[in-house]
Structures are given as structure tokens and as C-alpha cells.
Amino acid sequence: MKILVTGGAGFIGNHLSNKLKKLGHEVLIVDFSKKLIQKPNLSNDFDFYGFNLSEYKNFNKLPKDIDVIYHIAAQTSGYTGLIDPDKDIDWNIKGTLNICRFAKENKIKKIIYTSSMSVYGNGDFKKETDKVNPISHYGISKFCGELYLKQYKEYSIDYTIFRLFNVYGFGQDLENLDQGMVSIYLAQSLKSDTIEVKGSLNRYRNFIYIDDVVNALILGLDNKTKNQTYNICTNTKTTVKELLDSIFKAHNKTFKIKNIGQYEGDQNGCTGNNEKLKKLNWKPLVELEEGIKLFYKSIVKK
């Protein structure tokens, strides 16, 4: 198949693009820049289109004979969405609407969309059928994307929605200290003896390793997933304190912890239920402590 991956130069998108290519698909990438795609072991051997998804005129640059779109591109930081909500509107809302418009105009069969656990707000072991209650600009913008996909189903465009929980692993941007809880704390640990934490150490999440995420996303090509929504998560509830302990173990040392205050709209705690995805013979294989070690080793070897 000919597959377009938006955000394909980024962390999740590039891992996914590599996997799709290994499976024999023709992969095209749309992204702002090739910044992350140039990391070692992350391939840059793709047809690349660099433009802003929020401006529909840019889509004229793309070929029309695409079979499936993986829409990964997004503004992914809750904190950035708080201080600069226009980015959520442009990248997440306008960008997703434009993807839908492009798919309709060119009779593309399916859009596979990465939504977020932020649509749930706070809560434990949330199921896909549970009521959504986003408490951040970012969460609202991701849920808007889901609604657009469901609307465009009326034009015979199928969808699969994957609600990603806290993804981490090799290739994550260590320079961005506003997105990715694991990468934020790991990046700090490589430069300082003090880790700055926003909010309580008792906040909690589901952390999921990048390889497990990609294996789930590939299932979006299966006809069984047509017009369905899935959580991609573990069933393990991990506090910020437990996450930091795993990072400390990877270093084999301890660090000072400095609390710098919680920001508005940050979820206190959210975990998901992954039983629906498991029915497709998927399961997370990498435990958090092992995943942190793999991530750490991929950095210190450079």
C-alpha cells in the first residue's frame, strides 16, 4: 500500500514509518522538518514533504493516489497548549480537519489517528466506552480530531482511533522539556544532579514503550479495526516517584528532586484499560524498568 505518515520525522512517526517500510509498504512523510529523522538508526530514506498541515493549500504538493493516512502529527504538550493554545488549534484541530478534507477529495480509504489519553481527563483504567472529560486545551483539541474522523465516515472514509498513553523510548526529543514525562526527567538526569518536577510525586500514568506502540499502530491496517477506538497502554499504574526510581536505577545513582509546582490542566492521574486491543492478539512486552534502561543505554552509547 501507499501510506502517508504525517509527523513521520518525529519520535513515534519515524519508528512507525520504518516499520511500515520493512513490511513492504511505500511510505511518504509529511512534517515540518527532518530534525528527528536524522538521528542514528532512524531512517531518512523516505519521500519527504515539508509543510504546515494547518494550511490546506499546502496539500497540493502531495500525490493523490494514497491508500491510507496515518495522522500522527500534532502539538503534543499539555503545557504548550496551555501557554500557546493557538498551536493546538492550528496543528491539532485545523491540521486534522485538513487531513479529512484531503482524504475526501482524493477518495482515500482510511485514516488512522493517534489521539491521546488526555481526552479522558483524570480517572483509573478508563475504557474506550467511558465518557471523555478533557481538562486541558490539548485534550480538547485531540478529541476534536476524533469527532472530525467520525464525521467524515459519512463520506466513506474509514478510521481507526488509537488513544495513546505515555509513550517513551529511543528517538524521543530530549531537548523538549515540555513534552514526554520520561524524556523530560531522563534529559535532566543527564545534565544535573537535581530533577525538577511539576506537581506531586504521587501523580500517576501508564507508561508504554515505543516498540509496543508501533506494534499496536500497525494493527490499524487490519480490517478488524475499521471504525474502532483503542487504548494503547499498559495495565500498570505508575507514580511519578516510581518513574524517577526507575531512572535512578538506570544511572545506578540517586538525584535530588525539586518540586516546581503543578500547571493548570495537568492530569493528576490517568490510566487505561487495554483489554479491547488485547483481543487483537496484541500485548505490551516491555516493562517500564527494562524500557528505561534501553532508552538510557541508547543515549549514553553515543
In this predicted structure, the answer to whether residue 212 has a pLDDT above a threshold of 70 is yes
> Does any domain span residue 243?
yes
> Does any domain span residue 49?
yes
Catalytic site residue 138? yes
Q: H/E element holding 132?
A: none
In this predicted structure, the answer to whether residue 282 has a pLDDT above a threshold of 50 is yes
Please provide the DSSP assignment of 44-97 as one string. Answer: --SEEEE--TT-GGGGGGS-S---EEEE------HHHHHH-HHHIIIIIIIHHH
Name the more confident of 39 and 283.
283
| Candidates 70, 138, 230, 296; catalytic one | 138
Same domain flag for 98 and 183: no
Contact 119, 146 (CB under 8 A): yes
Q: Using alpha carbons, list the distances in angstroms from residue 112 to 62, 69, 85, 270.
A: 18, 6, 24, 23
pTM above 0.85, yes or no: yes
Query: What is the DSSP code (8-state) at residue 269?
Result: B
Contact 161, 210 (CB under 8 A): no
Q: H/E element holding 248?
A: helix 240-251
- Sign, CA dihedral 210-117-80-238, equals negative
- Domain of 179, in residue numbers: 173-206+236-270+286-300
Same domain flag for 50 and 159: yes
Predicted confidence at residue 105, as pLDDT, reads: 97
Same domain flag for 126 and 252: no
Same domain flag for 214 and 123: yes
User: What average pLDDT does range 150-162 have in this prediction?
Assistant: 97
Model confidence over 183-195: pLDDT tens digits?
999 999 999 999 9
Query: What is the DSSP code (8-state) at residue 235?
Result: S
Q: Which residues contact 253 (CB under 8 A, 6 or more apart)?
A: none
Q: Which residue has the cell 496515518?
A: 70
Least confident interval from 83-87, 115-119, 155-159:
83-87
Contact 157, 103 (CB under 8 A): yes
Predicted confidence at residue 262, as pLDDT, reads: 76
> Does any domain span residue 280?
no
Same domain flag for 141 and 244: no
In this predicted structure, the answer to whether residue 42 has a pLDDT above a threshold of 50 is no
Model confidence over 85-117: pLDDT tens digits?
787 888 899 999 999 999 999 999 999 999 999
> Does any domain span residue 276?
no
Same domain flag for 129 and 194: no
Same domain flag for 89 and 128: yes
Same domain flag for 127 and 159: yes
> Does any domain span residue 252?
yes
> Does any domain span residue 281?
no
Q: Which residue has the cell 488513544?
A: 163
Give the domain CATH number at 253: 3.90.25.10
Same domain flag for 250 and 227: no
> Does any domain span residue 13?
yes
Q: Tally the domains of the chain.
A: 2
Model confidence over 193-211: pLDDT tens digits?
999 998 899 999 999 999 9
Contact 81, 88 (CB under 8 A): yes
Same domain flag for 222 and 258: no
> Does any domain span residue 279?
no
Give the domain CATH number at 9: 3.40.50.720
Rounded to the nearest integer, the mean pLDDT of the chain is: 91
Predicted confidence at residue 81, as pLDDT, reads: 58
Same domain flag for 125 and 12: yes
In this predicted structure, the answer to whether residue 266 has a pLDDT above a threshold of 70 is yes
User: What average pLDDT does range 228-239 have in this prediction?
Assistant: 96
Same domain flag for 258 and 139: no
CA separation for the pair 252, 258 (Å, rounded) = 19
CA separation for the pair 74, 125 (Å, rounded) = 25
